[in-house]
Structure 1
């Protein structure tokens, strides 16, 4: 890594490699597509800035050519200096398309990021990975599935990739951190920011044990349009994508569509026909995604062999088997089934009065075996 520009050089165009990459991506009018076109024509960024207007006009408009050759603004010079300082800190890394350590799987997608900011263990970016995505407003069962599947897959050696959103993403990262495969969080802000703020502790753990990854410059805030775009990186880093609970208009389906376009394998966990959060998964299954009931199903489809996978099917099956005891709680669970049910219907099935049933439902909620849904409906978890 080259040294950062000194304060005396703040008003001169920086000429080191990293500064040239940053300057290219911060030039007004230059997006990823234009940058790739320029790089394809001239090679490295420094050659772009050494070109003259007529040569640049072979690739870009007069306006962009003029912008490329304009002296860097004070704001850009400050960003470059700040980025050098950030990259010099332990655990922080910046990878460009010309870097030998750039993730090879991202070079396979149509629009690979020009620059990647990584905090943590960048070696994970080249490991075999599975993306796990789903609803931000997940049910307790969806959260449990995401964490358990991710834990088992990570224990088998797969790196879990997700977007650090609330709900399924958070559970996937938590599960990934429990195994040797660890986890990668692809974020939609600068790598020096944490969004959402509720995941600050999780972000610090991922930076220590996994990897935080962003294509956005330091200081980039949470902008709505950036999050769908980062989804192509989530799917691009992975061999396949597992969708857990997604409504028909869910952002997770954007990731699924990108995964299909990138030639990645698609997996989905089915749910109740009455649940809006299952409809996206069911649509994917109709379109060819593999229906999965255990982490072993995914490992077999990927033809991934790991010693840790031998007992995988039995351990994941524990999520859906109850103890079949004869106490009142098991009677309620059995009557509840696996679809949401209202209290009146449940009382009729159990032949219990309202007070007794309410006590059992409260006990099951506290034990994490059932959950209350909007509208007063109940659903079993285990």
Structure 2
């Protein structure tokens, strides 16, 4: 039996979590993980400092070969992708988090085919305010080749998935249940469309696991781990969306939060996140600027398609500045290079910055963003 099958078997044992399995993996026996089938309770306690209760659970679980066989049969029958921690198919961003899931079950496109992911999460009771914000942000993220990750739940999650599909983007739904028990059942049509349009359904749980309340923190950690950033649209002070953002912050990911009415319960979580350092979001440019990308406006498209278009728009100074700042340059150097008065350069840099075409770094130098 190869190591991947042993890891799958361990992941199927109730009350044996990713941290315990990671400990076993880090101290793998010389002959491979299959040696664990011959370990006694005392062996696990002595070598891994497990409690007797945990060691007994592992021994009993590994002796149940039918448990593994049933799962393998289901994987084959329903053509499920099985992604094991440590394999080349396992997303690197997720592998680097604290206690990554040992196994991911996937239906649809391969997870490592998505180059950059942005999580969008929020309240199950998200309002039209949240929906409008999602519909404003998602198209621009898709234009810049982002994949949208969310949790497949009703409310903000469904809004994010649906907006992505309407705009011909790709989206990943991370479920809090097994893939053969998709939750919520009201989103079955949505889940099918996600797969058909090039996205993925993902779960860290055995195929037939129901959507237990204890599953959702683990699901939220996967959402955060798969993503470079996390946008919280509407969230109560105590909510799953805020927990997802907390995980994202812990893992050094960017967190964005949408402010709302101060008397709304669904604003409390976002406002707390902003107080804790999340970036206040008013539009897609607040996300894109973090990654040196920009909103596709008519003016920006003209600049991207043809640098000379700025001249055609009657702005030769802007063109000269953009060409000069392909590499970071101080304002004095820009002035000397293009031979224009300092005040003119300052005014034009301000206009270009508002358009999202240049930015000023911490050292004061300017650089073109296109």
TM-score range relative to shorter protein: 0.7 to 0.9
Q: Structure 1 residue 191: deviation in Å? A: 1.3
Alignment of 1:116-195 (within 5 A): 116-123=104-111, 126-179=114-167, 181-195=169-183
1:298 pairs with one of 258, 283, 287: 287
Aligned with 1:194: secondary structure? coil
Deviations 1:219-266 (A, max 9, x none): 100101111221111111111110101122222111111111111111
Task: Give the structure 2 partner of residue 34 of structure 1.
Answer: 20
Q: Corresponding residue for 1:241?
A: 230
Using the alignment, how far apart are the partners of 1:136 and 1:194 within structure 2? 17
1:90–1:63 CA distance, 2 compared to 1 (3 A): closer
Partner secondary structure for residue 58 of structure 1: helix
Q: Is the 1:135–1:245 Cα contact (8 Å) retained in structure 2?
A: yes
- How far 1:189 sits from its partner (Å)? 0.3
Structure 1 pair 128–144 and aligned structure 2 pair: CA distance change class (3 A): same
Q: Is the 8 A contact 1:103 1:126 kept in 2?
A: no
* Counterpart among 233, 245, 248 of residue 256 in structure 1: 245
Residues 125 and 276 of structure 1: CA distance in aligned 2, closer, same or farther (over 3 Å): farther
**8 A contact 2:136–2:283 mirrored in 1:** no
Q: Do 1:132 and 1:160's aligned partners in 2 also have CA atoms closer than 8 Å?
A: yes
The alpha-carbon deviation at position 99 of structure 1 amounts to 1.2
Q: Which residue of the partner structure matches residue 200 of structure 2?
A: 211
CA contact (8 A) 2:143 2:296 kept: no
Distance 1:265 1:28, change over 3 A: closer
Match of 2:135, SS state, is: helix
**Cα shift readout 1:6-27 (whole Å, capped 9, x = no counterpart):** xxxxxxxxx3544322321233
Q: SS state of the match for residue 188, structure 1? A: coil
SS of the aligned residue for 1:206 comes to: helix
Residue of structure 2 in register with 1:228 after alignment: 217
CA shift at 1:54, angstroms?
5.2
Spell out the pairing of 1:1-382 with structure 2 (5 A cutoff).
15-42=1-28, 45-51=33-39, 55-56=43-44, 57-59=46-48, 60-70=50-60, 77=66, 79-88=67-76, 92-123=80-111, 126-179=114-167, 181-208=169-196, 209-304=198-293, 309-311=295-297
Name 1:369's counterpart in structure 2. none
Q: Distance in 2 between matches of 1:50 and 1:131?
A: 42
Residue-pair matches, total: 296
Q: State how far apart, in whole Å, the 2-side matches of 1:73 and 1:147 are.
A: 51
Deviation of 1:30 after TM superposition, in Å, equals 2.2
Q: Unpaired segments of 5 or more residues in structure 2?
A: 302-370
Distance, in Å, in 2 between the alignment partners of 1:255 and 1:83 is: 29
Instruction: Classify the secondary structure of the residue corresponding to 2:213.
Output: coil
Using structure 2 for the length normalisation, give the TM-score: 0.73
Range with greater deviation from structure 2 (15-24 or 132-141): 15-24
Is the CA contact (8 Å cut-off) linking 1:105 and 1:126 kept in structure 2?
A: no
- Structure 1 gaps, min length 5: 1-14, 316-382
Match of 1:363 in 2: none
Instruction: Give a deviation string over 1:290-336, Cα, whole Å, max 9, x none.
Output: 1122212211112246xxx4229999xxxxxxxxxxxxxxxxxxxxx
**1:225 counterpart SS class:** helix
Q: 1:273 to 1:261 in 2, by over 3 A?
A: same
Whole-Å separation in 1 of the counterparts to 2:266 and 2:246: 17
TM-score (norm 1): 0.70
d(CA) in 2 for partners of 1:269, 1:188 = 25
Q: Distance in 2 between matches of 1:31 and 1:313?
A: 52
> How far apart in 2 are the matches of 1:234 and 1:219?
20
The 1:203/1:296 distance shift into structure 2, 3 A limit, reads: same
Which range moved further: 60-69 or 176-185? 60-69
| C-alpha RMSD over aligned residues | 2.6
Tell me the secondary structure at the aligned position of residue 102 of structure 1: coil
TM-superposition CA deviations, 1:9-50 (whole Å, max 9, x none): xxxxxx354432232123355222111111111165323224
